Structure 1
Amino acid sequence: MKLRTKIAGTVALPLALAIASAASAATIVDTDAHRLQIGGFVAAQAYWEMPDAGEMNYGMDLGSSRLGINYTNKTNAGDITYMYEQTVGGRLRHAAILHDGWVAGQSWSFFANLNGLGETLDANGNAITSSWASRNPLLGKNINLGDGMSVGVALEERGTNSGNAVVSGATNASPLPDLTANFKGNFGGVGIFAAAQMYQVNDPTDAKASEGKVRMTASASLPLGDTMGVKAAFTADPDRYSAFSASAQMKMSDQLRTNLVVEQVMDDGAAGDDYMQLWVNAIHKTASGWEWGAEVHMVMGDGTVIAPTAGGAGTKDGDMTFRLQAKYAF
């Protein structure tokens, strides 16, 4: 299998996480009848790509700058929240309705493993492999089990090798949506997440047939006192890849935090190119709310193109990227 490295379109966790895309969203109006929140952040990121072979490349972009609006209608039947968020480049992130555990629209996939994400300035990080975190159209239900636990089930559309894709002039024989189920729990501060997703791919030998696949992901997050936390995540997608990551965050002070993320990816496809990635960064938050960050990203692998960089080029064994970022959330 060839490893797919692009970030998917997007998906669903508890309501609090779904709305927390802009964690510092400002409450504009909050009455007994409704609540309006607006938030997001603006970032500027400069990067220097230093390939093991070839010349250095410099670039600059707006990172994942975004704007989000959440409106909650407080009714006798419970709160109904309408959520919309997009990047400054116009890419849709969220457009969903949430009510009584239901999620309808585009939001975090029920397969999204946000619990295992390490913090990186790299917009990809381990979110496209070991701790998959994407957004896509879905209809799902989160069910609260009490004691910090919940389960979720959803019908989804990943838009990748699924649905009624046209192949050689014929459509995929399967009308099945992607079916996802997950479990979330918090046990004494330890976060646990596990999910499985069944999806359809076209049969390469028959344009009118399809084949079902099941991929799985899981993670654990563990706080170590007030200043440190560690995470581990794993994702396995049959005939494509398996990936594992471990990350740690250390809060040096109220203003300064550092992150280390290490990931190993095992390509199960025809190429079979395994590789490891390493991210190390430091992020300083000023009293005014500005965040300044610096990061080094290194790749060690079998030498083939393995992951896209900010500039769109493929990273290979021995390549390194240095990033600087300024960010302000509102």
Structure 2
Amino acid sequence: MLIFAKNFILPKIGNIELPKFPLLLAPMEDVSDPPFRRLCKIHGADLMYSEFISSEGLIRDAIKSRKKLDIFDYERPVGIQIFGGDEEAMALSAKIVETVQPDLVDINFGCPVKKVVCKGAGAGVLKDIDLMVRLTKAVIESTHLPVTVKTRLGWDNDSINIQEVAERLQETGIKALSIHGRTRAQMYKGEADWTEIAKVKANPNIEIPIFGNGDIDSPEKALEYKKKYGVDGIMIGRAAIGNPWIFNQIKHFLKTGEHLPDPTLAERAEAAKNHLTWACEWKGERTGILETRMHYTNYFKGVSHFKPYRQKLVTSDNLSELIDILDDVSQFENLEI
């Protein structure tokens, strides 16, 4: 039985006006940095978030945490996501976040990785809704920015509590809620269950925008889930890695029912080259080269005879050489998609 949502809620977060049925880029550790966000923005992402940032790290003035606060005007609207399990630390970190003037602050109550959960943060907070509420209140009371939350269905299948979580977080004053349709126990395995997300959206007491997350990897699926589950928008994570075009592809399909052409080999090479260049500008050449290596396989997924070029891309430490390799890739006729 399908669960149909109540009347459509305009996708507005505080004073941030979003287009009808916005597409959000999910915050992903070691992925959602400024170079990657820039590519996704160019290709249609409506709202993006930083990588998640440790509240304790911000307070300690940790270099890595501070670096994640970098945002740029061309990204807007953009939110900075924080996580932690201590109310005072979350409040103080929200004040620090406010100084760089993002459009919103997002709280991560969904990260399932052990090193975060063991600190009583991320998805670890799903086992204690009262703590979740206190942490959220602490952030809201310490900033003038709109506060949103990203979370999961519950800790495991025996403790799915997203219905209670949604109502109680709305009462604290959050302006939107993004829900990943898996439990913490699932990590990223199995299928995401959007029926629970639809129940939240259909709840007559819920007045804030509800965004669904999990398993959206094609325009067809985006349209199906939009119709079937009635959410206000979709958050896309892993499907955007190496494929920033997915946002405009979905938008075009929702509008026309037709597919945009797949990116050409030249367009893939240009995206990879931009990613590399912007990463080097932001992180420094050495770090930019090393951290971009993980993306090449994704940009050229499905390209035949690419292996020799991939080997060069992941072994070269010279920026000019890497640019030349990507220029060559875009022109070689023996490479096919």
Structure with higher strand content = 1
- Give your verdict on TM over 0.5: no
TM-score (norm 1): 0.32
Structure with higher helix content = 2
